[in-house]
Chain A
Amino acid sequence: MYNYTDFDAHFVRARTAQFAAQVERRISGALTEDEFKPFRLMNGVYLQLHAYMLRVAIPYGTINPRQMRALAQIADTYDKGYGHFTTRQNIQFNWPKLTDIPAILSDLADVGMHAIQTSGNTIRNVTADHFAGAAADEIEDPRPVAELLRQWSTDHPEFQFLPRKFKIAITGAPNDRAVTRAHDIGLRMVRNAAGAPGFEVIVGGGLGRTPIIGATVRDFLPKADLLPYVEAVLSVYNMLGRRDNKYKARIKITLHETGKEELSRLIEARFVELRAQFGGNDQALLAQIEAAFSAPDLRRADTAAYGAFYKADPVFRSWADTNLAAHRDPDYRIVTISLKKHGDTPGDATSAQMRLIADLSERFGHSEIRISHEQNVILPHVHLSDLPGLHAALRGSGLETANVGLISDIIACPGMDYCALATARSIPVAQQIATRFEELKLEHDIGPLKIKISGCINACGHHHVGHIGILGLDRAGVENYQITLGGDGTETAVIGERAGPGFAYDEIVPAIERLIAAYLKQRENAAETFLQAYRRLGLGPFKAALYPDEGKRNAA
């Protein structure tokens, strides 16, 4: 993977020292909170309900074992022994003291990590397909481009005070695992008629209070034009984006107000100006970065043992059926390690688990680790013959759950257990749904299903693109949960439809149970997924299941 150059290392050190001085001045009283807040936000430091929170970037979801061990060490030394992996491929520490944060940032810098631009009105951590570099359906590894974008956007003087935060996601495969259509800029690699790789450029997607699926402003952008094109989008947004109203400041509103045609015209015009100025330096840099992302030397070994093990061990088989994905090499698999043990907090890993993941990646996975936006951990390159050993090593660690892509593999934002903006809790709702369906032993029968939960309309839990979305609200001083149905975060992205009135905290799990019962009853066969059934049947039967009394009332 990419390792810091001297320039990168120096930059991160300098920023850490600068922030340490700012913390010192805050503590001495030389800086007021109003003065300090923009500084701390530029360095990933939030103040939540019960404590400060530090958000550390895991650029494009790629992390090496040494970095993972450093995160474990930080969790043990400065926090409560765990970390929370998020939908934006960051890790959050929920309990640091302000006085410890400079030391944490310094420990991170030791292993080439930082918290820069993980908050504030800047270009945020660039997220990527978590199967990047390994997936069978991939055209090219998108991470060199993501790294190029990181280097370009980090401390870019023109884009430090954008109208609002700006999020870029990138995927190297036509199958979109990075939710590119719900980002400020989504980049989806495609081939043109001549077979050359380039990008579909999607602009103005976003979730939050006004969910919008982005508009395609270019069907095919040659790879070499990427950076000037992205800069053109940013430049137009920086000029047009509304600074008068925080709720109208994202580029999705610019898209909405300016119109796709006019916005595209402005972007193209700016692009022509900028491309001339780049002069090929970006391509030279990209070539250097690409060299750093060379694929591991995959090994050749007998695979027969895998088949035998698969037949003999039902626990292994169940795990293999849900947690493995196709690798570009037929003798390899991509392994998803679930951070969604039934009843546990989605996305949380203890320091012991982090260390185990680091060890196992070295033993079985060419020392590569990824974090997914679905809050799981990926070992992208595991040889078939190593899978039984890997699974055996996971057993008993809380990391062996066979539920990837199933009903208990829930995305949940921190909600009112941590987040100062929350209007309701989301974590316990996720815990209860997972526990309930585990009791019912139904989840493998239900099949692929994505439940996503947010604790307020900011939609950090992606509820709008969940097959079942749950949004926690405060209704007259009581937690209330609204359900949306039929959302989809892939290349066929759709914003879910609101099912009807919300449910109280103790009604939400039974409501989900009724919804699932309706699906199981109405599906054509076991192969028809929840989302397919919803698309075929529409809201009607699901609404009837959610609000049975209403049907009775109408019938009466």
Chain B
Amino acid sequence: MSRAFTAKIITANDLLAGDVIYLTADDQWSRHHAEAELIEDEAHAQLRLLDAARAKSAVGAYLADARKGQNGPEPVHFREAFRMRGPSNYAHGKQVEPDHV
């Protein structure tokens, strides 16, 4: 039996700045995890990943586990939580960007 599909988001790094970006439902790349499209269907996920791979401004798009949260999708794995925040040794990256949510 194949494992049940769990919800995903699509994330990548920005081509120019290299920072973490998320694919939104309206085909934009957002800096905010909570604005990502939460994908709950496996076939749709594969299609969206193809869309993402075609995007010129995104590098290395992949599907990451996510769950529904109060203000939008939240990361499941600690790796995605770190990507959403930035490094733990300095206040750098997303955690200090002015419009961080």
Question: Known interface pairs A417-B82, A425-B88, A427-B89. Does A50 touch B18 (Cβ–Cβ under 8 Å)?
Answer: yes
How far, in whole Å, are A417 and B90 apart by their CA atoms in the complex? 9
* Residue A395 lies at the interface, judged by CB distance under 8 Å to chain B: no
Contact residues in A for B79 (Cβ distance below 8 Å):
49, 416, 422, 474
* Residue B76 lies at the interface, judged by CB distance under 8 Å to chain A: yes
Which interface class (under 10, 10 to 19, 20 to 34, 35 or more) fits A?
20 to 34
How far, in whole Å, are A416 and B77 apart by their CA atoms in the complex? 12
Question: Which residue of the partner chain, among A26, A29, A97, A417, contacts B18 with CB atoms under 8 Å?
Answer: A97
Main secondary structure of the interface of B (DSSP, over half): loop
By the criterion CB–CB under 8 Å, are A477 and B93 in contact?
A: no
* Residue A80 lies at the interface, judged by CB distance under 8 Å to chain B: yes
By the criterion CB–CB under 8 Å, are B18 and A80 in contact?
A: no
Contact residues in A for B77 (Cβ distance below 8 Å):
477
* Residue A140 lies at the interface, judged by CB distance under 8 Å to chain B: no
Chain A positions 415 through 430: 1 when the CB is less than 8 Å from some CB of chain B, otherwise 0: 0111000100101100
Considering only residues 48-72 of chain A, those with a C-beta below 8 Å from chain B are 48-52
Contact residues in A for B89 (Cβ distance below 8 Å):
345, 417, 427-428, 431
How far, in whole Å, are A345 and B92 apart by their CA atoms in the complex? 14
Q: How far is the CB of A201 from chain B (nearest CB, A)?
A: 39
By the criterion CB–CB under 8 Å, are A80 and B90 in contact?
A: yes
Contact residues in A for B38 (Cβ distance below 8 Å):
none
Question: Known interface pairs A427-B89, A431-B89, A477-B77. Does A47 touch B16 (Cβ–Cβ under 8 Å)?
Answer: no
How far, in whole Å, are A345 and B93 apart by their CA atoms in the complex? 16
* Residue A282 lies at the interface, judged by CB distance under 8 Å to chain B: no
By the criterion CB–CB under 8 Å, are B88 and A50 in contact?
A: no
In this complex, how many residues of chain B approach chain A with their Cβ under 8 Å: the count is 24
By the criterion CB–CB under 8 Å, are B17 and A29 in contact?
A: no
How far, in whole Å, are A188 and B92 apart by their CA atoms in the complex? 42
* Residue A33 lies at the interface, judged by CB distance under 8 Å to chain B: yes
Contact residues in A for B88 (Cβ distance below 8 Å):
417, 425, 427-428
* Residue B59 lies at the interface, judged by CB distance under 8 Å to chain A: yes
* Residue A292 lies at the interface, judged by CB distance under 8 Å to chain B: no
By the criterion CB–CB under 8 Å, are A49 and B92 in contact?
A: no
* Residue A27 lies at the interface, judged by CB distance under 8 Å to chain B: yes
How far, in whole Å, are A225 and B2 apart by their CA atoms in the complex? 60
Q: How far is the CB of B92 from chain A (nearest CB, A)?
A: 6
How far, in whole Å, are A478 and B60 apart by their CA atoms in the complex? 24
Question: Known interface pairs A33-B59, A47-B13, A98-B15. Does A479 touch B87 (Cβ–Cβ under 8 Å)?
Answer: no
Contact residues in A for B87 (Cβ distance below 8 Å):
50, 417-418, 427
By the criterion CB–CB under 8 Å, are A50 and B86 in contact?
A: yes
Chain B residue with the shortest CB-CB distance to A431: B89
By the criterion CB–CB under 8 Å, are A49 and B83 in contact?
A: yes
Chain A residue with the shortest CB-CB distance to B79: A416
* Residue B34 lies at the interface, judged by CB distance under 8 Å to chain A: no
How far, in whole Å, are A477 and B17 apart by their CA atoms in the complex? 28
Considering only residues 16-41 of chain B, those with a C-beta below 8 Å from chain A are 16-20
How far, in whole Å, are A97 and B14 apart by their CA atoms in the complex? 10
By the criterion CB–CB under 8 Å, are A50 and B83 in contact?
A: yes
Contact residues in A for B19 (Cβ distance below 8 Å):
50-51
By the criterion CB–CB under 8 Å, are A98 and B82 in contact?
A: no
How far, in whole Å, are A80 and B60 apart by their CA atoms in the complex? 24
Which 5 A-B residue pairs are closest in the complex by CB-CB distance? A417-B87, A52-B18, A51-B18, A50-B93, A345-B89
Could you write out 25 A-B pairs with CB less than 8 Å apart? A27-B16, A29-B56, A33-B60, A47-B13, A47-B18, A47-B59, A49-B79, A50-B19, A50-B86, A50-B94, A51-B17, A51-B18, A96-B18, A97-B16, A99-B16, A345-B90, A416-B78, A417-B82, A417-B87, A417-B88, A425-B88, A474-B78, A474-B79, A477-B78, A478-B78
The interface of chain A, by Cβ under 8 A from chain B, is 26-27, 29, 33, 47-52, 80, 95-99, 345, 416-418, 422, 425, 427-428, 431, 474, 477-479
The interface of chain B, by Cβ under 8 A from chain A, is 13, 15-20, 56, 59-60, 76-79, 82-83, 86-90, 92-94
A50-B20, A51-B19, A97-B16 are known contacts; what are 6 more A-B pairs with Cβ within 8 Å? A29-B56, A47-B60, A51-B13, A80-B92, A418-B87, A478-B78
